[in-house]
Amino acid sequence: MIESVVIITDQSPMGKNSTLEAIRIGSGFVALGEYVNCQIVFMGDAVYLLNKNVKPEAIGMDSLDEIIEIADLSDLELYVIDQALEDAGMTAADLIEYENLKIITIDEVVDLIANADTSFRF
């Protein structure tokens, strides 16, 4: 039985919903009848989704507020790789306010994956 999942998302959130869908899938795992611990790691261009100034609905995409509310109701853990944040020219001050959002190193991501029952890239 799978008890823990790490979802890695690295695709640009603009023009497609794959990064938003990673949050929906993660919330779905957490909402399963038996608790499945799910953590989502944002790397590469996916970090742009978590910029507090991003407005995906301006280009016809789902609202970030609604997706973060789903994550919040699920107590979903979201992680941003520090180097990806730096590569995007962003700092912690640029990120959305979300209690379960943490900035971690690539070494910590390796540990998350090593300790999870399964992981996949979305």
Q: Tally the domains of the chain.
A: 1
Report yes or no: 83 and 42 within 8 Å, Cβ to Cβ.
no
Report yes or no: 43 and 81 within 8 Å, Cβ to Cβ.
yes
pTM of the model: 0.91
Tokens representing residue 33 in the block: 């009848």
CATH number of the domain encompassing residue 79:
3.40.1260.10
Residue 87's nearest CA partner among 44, 50, 53 is 44
pLDDT in tens, 59-70: 777 778 888 898
**Residue 35 lies in domain:** 4-121
Residue 78's nearest CA partner among 54, 106, 47 is 47
If DSSP codes are grouped into helix, strand and coil, which group holds residue 49? helix
pLDDT in tens, 11-58: 887 777 788 889 999 988 877 756 788 999 999 999 998 999 887 777
Q: Which amino acid is at 121?
A: R
